[in-house]
Amino acid sequence: MTARGDGVARIAYPDSVRLDFFLGGGHGGGAAVLIGDSLVVPGPDLVRRLVPPRALLWAALGRLDLPAERDTLVRVDGPTVRADIGSPIRWRATFNGDSLSRLERVDGGRIQEWVQRGSGQRVQYRHESSGRTLSLVIQRSDAASAFNPSIWKL
C-alpha cells in the first residue's frame, strides 16, 4: 500500500513533539505525541505502524536519544563520525559534522530498521523485514514562541 499526504510537526525542545498527518484526498490521518520516553499513537494499528519507534522518531528530527547501553565504539573519518552502541551492537549512529545523519537499530548483527536524514530536507525511515517505509520532505520550518498546552493531549 502506498499513501501520500501532508503533515506538521510541532517541536518543543528538548523533549516534546507532536506530529499530525493527513492522507491525500481526505482519506484519513493520524497523530502522534512524543514526550521524552513516552510515545502515544492513538487509532488503528495502521496508524501506529506508520510512525517510527521513539528513538528513530527522535533521529528523524535530528536528535539522538537512545536507551542506555554498555560499550560504545567510535570511528572518525574526516567530518564523519560513526558510533556502534551496545555490546552486542544495538544501534549504529552516523554524524556528519555536528548533525545526526543516520541511525540504525541492529539485532542479531543485522539492521532491522533505520532513519536517514539526507541533504535537502529529506528524511527516510525503513523497517527492513516488513518493507515499510516513510519518506518525509521538510518544506518549511517556522519558529513559534509557545504552544497551547492542550496540543500535548490526544
Confidence grade of residue 64 (pLDDT, cut at 50, 70, 90): very high
Q: Are 83 and 73 in contact (CB under 8 A)?
A: yes
- Mean local confidence (pLDDT), 79-93: 96
Give dist(CA 112, CA 132) in Å, integer. 11
pLDDT of the residue at 108: 95
Q: Domain boundaries in the chain?
A: 1-51, 68-137
Confidence grade of residue 1 (pLDDT, cut at 50, 70, 90): low
Which residues does 147 contact at the CB level (< 8 Å), separation at least 6? Answer: 10, 12, 18
Residue-averaged pLDDT of the chain: 89
Name the more confident of 9 and 50: 9
Identity of the amino acid at 52? P
DSSP single-letter state for residue 13: T
pLDDT of the residue at 102: 97
Q: Are 4 and 24 in contact (CB under 8 A)?
A: yes
